[in-house]
A and B are shown apart, each in its own frame.
Chain A
Amino acid sequence: MLGDSSKAQEVFHTTLREAANRAAQGELPKERFWLFRDALWRCLEADKADLQPEALKLDEHDVAPQGASQIEQLEPTQLAVWISGAPDPQRTALALFYLDEFDYNEILDLAELKLSELSRFLAQGRRQLQAWLDAKHPEQGTV
């Protein structure tokens, strides 16, 4: 979400500290995903002060059969930076989806999105990532 490990760590610790305080006072919400929602909100807050990505129209390519092997050539941090560079709420959708910890209904609930929105963000994200991969490894690209 943040593309910066120190920021992520700070958000993580703040979220847990706040949760511990609320638990000590017996004020834990009954809502199922409150902790994730809290962490998400803190990520977005932490990111507000930073430089925001320009609203560019990114290239989009259809997902190619060699897409998986192109991804395997990436460094994990490169992918993290790419996802964190996406504008919100697409970034939230991509981060929650590729964590592979939630089903789509849970993501809709957590990110407060509609199915059509989540679908659009994911499909667009795949196409943009494919275009970026094609630009990064033109010899394997489809263009």
Chain B
Amino acid sequence: MLRLLRRQRALLNCAPISQDRLADRSMRAAVSRADDSDEFVNQQSFDRAVAALVRLIPIPPETAEWFSEKDLVVGSKWTWKKMARNPAVLAISIAVMVIAGVSVFQVLSRLNDFPGAATARKLLTVAASTRPVMLDPVSTEAGTLSDLFFMKHGLEHYDVPTEFADFRTIGCRVFEDEESRRIAQIWLAEKRMQLFLFPAERNAKTGAVLPFPGWRYIHQEGWVGAVSEHSGVCFMAALRGPEKDLEPYLSKATGK
């Protein structure tokens, strides 16, 4: 108890002159207990008077200069050029440009997307890895294979469009993809072109076919495909090379 009182007495002797220095909890408690005593009130007013006089003690002019409000070091002027050369700004700018570039590329590549584009892309990969021995050898006109697909495999509307119907075939096959959709693949003698027929994409809720008009181009790993939809079945003509290699076949059809 005596020790506690002694500590409180010691704290009161060190009680701050300004109230904003009452940060310490034990000091606050000691001050609040002694707040009403005459002795403490005298001490506080005495201390305040001394502190006020201390503030008036003159500072030599040469030393006072150090505390002037003027900037001791003039900061260099801010310019766009300087900011652009800052490594951090440079790195952030490059990163933002790369991200923007990738985003624009993705937006542009998805801009021409159509229902079934994802399947068409996968089939372009299949086309790139297919070898002639994997197909049943069939030498006929592509247009006649519609009957074969219907009679042998029960595939309705797997019709080769008229643009490609007259080309000679090397082989064909029907296989299932990973989603158990049945895909017809035809290999043509013409420019080693491959034709694919696969079910068109449907609305997940209603089951209705998602149609799209005309021909749509698609690209994957150096291959190009031209896709159209008819009666719930998509047709894709694919070959290795640029889009312009496929264009003549399609414009010929439009010409007809």
Evaluate contact between A80 and B21: CB separation under 8 angstroms.
Answer: no
Q: Which residues of B contact A123 (CB under 8 A)?
A: 13
Interface residue SS majority, chain A:
helix
Residues of B within 8 A of A12 (CB): 63, 66
Taking beta carbons and an 8 Å cutoff, which residues of B are in contact with A?
Answer: 6-7, 9-11, 13-14, 16-18, 21, 23-24, 27, 38-39, 42-43, 45-51, 53-60, 62-63, 66
How far, in whole Å, are A63 and B57 apart by their CA atoms in the complex?
22
**Which of B7, B27, B50, B58 lies in contact with A98, CB distance below 8 A?**
B50
Whether A67 touches B45, Cβ cut-off 8 Å, given contacts A12-B63, A77-B58, A104-B24, is yes
Pick from A77, A126, A129: contact of B57, CB under 8 Å: A77
Q: Which residues of A contact B (CB under 8 A)?
A: 5-6, 8-9, 12-13, 16, 62-65, 67-69, 71-72, 74, 76-77, 79-80, 97-100, 102-105, 107, 115-116, 118-120, 122-123, 126, 129-130
Quote the shortest CB–CB distance from B26 to chain A (angstroms). 10
Contact across chains for A6 and B49 when beta carbons are under 8 A apart:
no
Nearest-neighbor residue (CB-CB) of A107 within chain B: B14
> Whole-angstrom distance between the alpha carbons of A106 and B215 in the complex?
81
Is the beta-carbon distance between A115 and B11 smaller than 8 angstroms?
Answer: yes
Tell me the complex Cα distance, A115–B9, Å: 10
A9-B62, A79-B54 known; A67 and B24 CB under 8 Å?
A: no
Question: Inside 8 A of A107's CB, which chain B residues have their CB?
Answer: 14
Q: Write out the residue numbers on chain B whose beta carbons fall within 8 Å of the beta carbon of A118.
A: 10, 13-14
Q: A79-B54, A103-B24 are in contact. Are A97 and B14 (CB under 8 A)?
A: yes
Tell me the bound Cα distance from A63 to B13 in angstroms. Answer: 12
Q: Which residue of B lies closest to A93 (CB)?
A: B14
A118 to B15 CA separation, bound complex (whole angstroms): 11
A69–B46 CA distance with the chains assembled, in angstroms: 8
